Structure 1
Amino acid sequence: MEDSLIQLVSREHIEISSDVRSGKPRITDTRIAVEDIAMMHLKLGYSLVEIAGKYDLSLASVYAAMAYYFDRRDGIDRRTAEEDELVEVLKQNHSSRVEKTW
């Protein structure tokens, strides 16, 4: 594997691939981003055991995702907020075709 395409970050649990999920850190061999795990746990109140069971993940990979998140919380939260702002701008500037039919 080329280093520019896939970078293992937390050994076997977390990886970053430029061509998957826009380069967001994610659980290895899945499309589940670290920020997804953090949001489900911290904002939606799911336990890490529930998340692992619901998405058929190893508990170790879910804990690794949370460790990765807490080590890089400011950057991940900043990127998520920027993406949320962009979505809001796009919503305001482009109405939905569904909305037009109502």
Structure 2
Amino acid sequence: MSTRTGHRYVTTDPAILNGEPIIEGTRTSVRAIVEIWRMGAAPEEIPTKLPHLTLSQVFDALSYFSDHQDEIQRYIEQNEIPPEKLHRSQ
């Protein structure tokens, strides 16, 4: 059962990504959108990388992040791959 967050497109559902905030109707997390944005993509570019999203959904995710930075940062840290697990090209 999903829970509204006060943001039009962002919801949570304990059955999807352990309740991490997602774009409603998808499995795309706010975290994923924020990470693409932090890598330098303009919000308008993100739907070209995640074509199932609209620009409105992207902006709502970034708005949610603005209101919940500590929460999303925790999700980013929890999902970070430790350097020793990364494959390094020779």
Normalization by structure 1: what TM-score?
0.70
Q: Which runs of 5+ in 2 are unaligned?
A: 86-90
From the CA coordinates, give the structure whose radius of gyration is larger: 1
Which structure has more relative contact order (CA 8 Å, sep 6+)? It is 2
The whole-number CA distance in structure 1 between the counterparts of 2:19 and 2:66 is 18
Paired residue secondary structure (2:25)? coil
Q: Which has the higher helix share?
A: 1
TM-fit CA distance, 1:54: 2.5
Q: For 1:70, which of 66, 71, 80 is the aligned residue?
A: 66
Q: Which runs of 4+ in 1 moved over 3 A?
A: none
Q: Which runs of 5+ in 1 are unaligned?
A: 92-102
**Residue 31 of structure 2 contacts residue 75 of structure 2 at CA under 8 Å; is this kept in 1?**
no
Is the counterpart of residue 46 in structure 1 residue 41 in structure 2? yes
Structural RMSD (CA): 2.0
